[in-house]
Amino acid sequence: MPSLRDVAERAQVAVSTVSAALNGTRPVAAATKLRIEQAAAELGYRPNLLARGLQSKRTRILALLYPAPRGGFGLTEMQFATGAAEEARELGYHLLLSPENADPIEELRHLTGLGLVDGVLLMEVRLDDERVDFLTRAGVAFSMIGRTREPGPIDYADIDFAVTARDAVAHVAGLGHRKLAFFNHSTDAYAAQYGPAIRAGAELAGAAALAGIGYVDDFRPGSAEEGGRAFEALLSAHPDVTALAVMDDHVAVGVLAAVAARGWRVPRDLTLMLVLSSSRVAEMFRPRLTTMEPPSAELGRLGARLLIDRLEGRARSLGEGGPRQRLVPCRLVIGDSSGPPRRQVP
C-alpha cells in the first residue's frame, strides 16, 4: 500500500502538502493540487485510517451495541442494524457490530477504552438503562434506537407510539368498531421494562379513550397456545370486543386457530391486526394480517445520522444544539384481516 510519502515523492512535494491537498485542510495551488491528485490516483493511494485516527482522535467508526439476542434476533432488529450500517457508509463511517456479553458495562468500558470508536449506537434500550448512565458519565458520544423513560438531553430515534396508536385506533374505529382489545407482550417483557410494550399499551389506551371507543388490555399471552386461551377468556369477559391488536406474531397464530375453532372467520367475525410486526411477516398469514409496521431500517438510519451529526458538531451549528429526538410512526399496512364489526349475537 502506497503511503502519503510515496505520493509526495511522485508529485515532488512535501507530505504535508499532499495531506492538505487531499483533505482541503489548507489552500493549495491548483497546479500542485492537480499533480498530487494525479500521483495519488496513479499509485492507487488510500489514506491509512489507523494512522489518521491515531493522530486526529477520530476514526469514523461507530459501534452498534445490542444485547446478545435472547430469543434470537428478529427481522426488526436486523433492520436497525442494516439501516444504520447503510447510513453510516453513506456518510463515510463504518459500523462495528458489538454483541454484549454478560456484563454490558464492562463491555462498554472496554470498547470505548480502545480508542477505536468515535461513538456508540444503543439498541434495545430499556426504560432504565445503565448503559446510558455509563456513557453519559464517560462523556462518550452516543445515540439510542428507542429511549429511556426520561431521555432528557439524549439523542434518539424511536417509534412514535402516539401517532401509531392513533392511526391504529382510527383504522378500526373507521371500520365501525366500538371496542378494541390489545394483547401486549408477555408479562416477562413487560416486567423487563421493554419500552415498546409499555408505550404501545399506554398510547393505545389513550387513543381509544380519545376516539371514544372501548379498550381492554388485561391479557398478555406469550405463545400461540396462550394466545388462543387468552382470546377465549377475552371474549367471555368482553363479548363486545370486535377488534383485536396483538404485539406478538406467535400469539396471532393462536388467536387465528381459536377463531377457526369456534367457527368464526377473520375478518367477518373479528378484525385482527398486528402491532410492530413487519409486513413480510404479516403477509405470511391467511388471511393476510393488517399490521402497524415499524420503520426499523429508518430508525437505524436515523440513529446513525443523529450520532454522526453530533460527532461532527452539526447538531450544535444548526438550531440550538440541544438533543435531537426523532419519532417515526409505524406504517399501517392493511391486509385482509380488517373489516366491519360482526353483528353482535343478541
12 binds, among DNA, a copy of itself, none (CB under 5 to 8 A by kind): DNA
DSSP assignment letter at 320: T
Taking the CA of residue 118 as centre, how many other CA atoms within 13 Å lie in the half-sphere pointing to its CB?
24
Instruction: Specify the residue, 36 or 125, whose C-beta has the smaller distance to DNA.
Output: 36
Query: Which grid coordinates belong to 34?
Result: 492537480
Residue 141 near a copy of itself by CB under 8 A? no
CA–CA separation, 179 vs 213, rounded Å?
Answer: 5
- Tell me how far, at minimum, the Cβ of 34 lies from DNA, in Å: 10
Residue 81 near a copy of itself by CB under 8 A? yes
- Tell me how far, at minimum, the Cβ of 100 lies from DNA, in Å: 24
CB 168 within 8 A of CB 332: yes
Residue 311 near DNA by CB under 7 A? no
Instruction: Specify the residue, 312 or 336, whose C-beta has the smaller distance to DNA.
Output: 312
- 304: Cβ contacts below 8 Å, ≥ 6 apart: 62, 83, 84, 85, 87, 88, 91, 93, 95, 121, 143
Of residues 135, 120, 116, the one with CA closest to residue 57: 116
Residue 28 near DNA by CB under 7 A? yes
187 binds, among a copy of itself, DNA, none (CB under 5 to 8 A by kind): none
Taking the CA of residue 318 as centre, how many other CA atoms within 13 Å lie in the half-sphere pointing to its CB?
6
Question: Around Cβ 54, how many Cβ atoms within 10 Å?
Answer: 11
CA dihedral of 10, 14, 16, 19, whole degrees rounded to 10: -20
Contact string (CB under 8 A) for a copy of itself, positions 226-265, x = contact:
-----------------------xx--x--xx--------
- Contacting positions for a copy of itself (CB under 8 A): 1, 44, 46-51, 53-54, 59, 61, 64, 68-69, 72-75, 77-79, 81-82, 85-86, 89, 94-99, 101, 110, 113-116, 224, 249-250, 253, 256-257, 278, 280-281, 283-284, 286
Q: Kindly list the residues in this chain that would bind DNA in the complex (CB under 7 A).
A: 1, 3-5, 12-17, 19-20, 22-23, 25-29, 31-33, 45-48, 51-52, 54-56, 115
